[in-house]
Amino acid sequence: MPKILVAVNGSPSSEKALETAVTLAQSQNARLLAVTVLDRPANPHLAPLTDELEARVRARLDELLQSAVNFTRSRGVSLVPILREGHAAEAILACAEQEQVDLLVLGAGSATGHDRGLGSTADQVSNHCACAVLLAK
């Protein structure tokens, strides 16, 4: 059974990626996983999170994953939610490798929506991922 990993962050392009991943999972009878990342800067002294702020961010990411589970369930697809910590691109790449996925689906475009490019995370992931990558816009 093929494995598809979709990266979600609540942006419009990640919602498109989730829709695309669900359609692919349905047509290929694939196992679907979703990853979201509690972004941590490379330098831990740059932006330490307070315990309260980290708890709020973690709760928001848990809500995001639960929303993805509910969305996929409403379309007859089971979803395994995964929360990772670290630099977004590195965490997504590590998850794809550890889960041995066949396809990684993620949204393309900047988080602000002002850039017409891929966005830094999509650019890094698509350039370094060992499996096939599908970018959704």
Cα-Cα-Cα-Cα dihedral sign, residues 91, 92, 97, 101: positive
Under a CB-based contact definition with an 8 Å cutoff, are residues 84 and 38 in contact? yes
Give 67-121 pLDDT, tens digit per residue: 999 999 999 999 999 999 999 999 999 999 999 999 999 998 755 454 555 568 8
Strand partners, 36: 83
Place of tokens 């330490």: 48
For residue 85, give the CATH number of its domain: 3.40.50.620
Determine the average pLDDT of the residues in 39-62.
75
In this predicted structure, the answer to whether residue 8 has a pLDDT above a threshold of 70 is: yes
H helices within the chain, ranges in order?
12-28, 51-74, 88-99, 120-128
- 25: containing domain: 3-136
Under a CB-based contact definition with an 8 Å cutoff, are residues 79 and 69 in contact? yes
In total, how many domains does the chain have?
Answer: 1
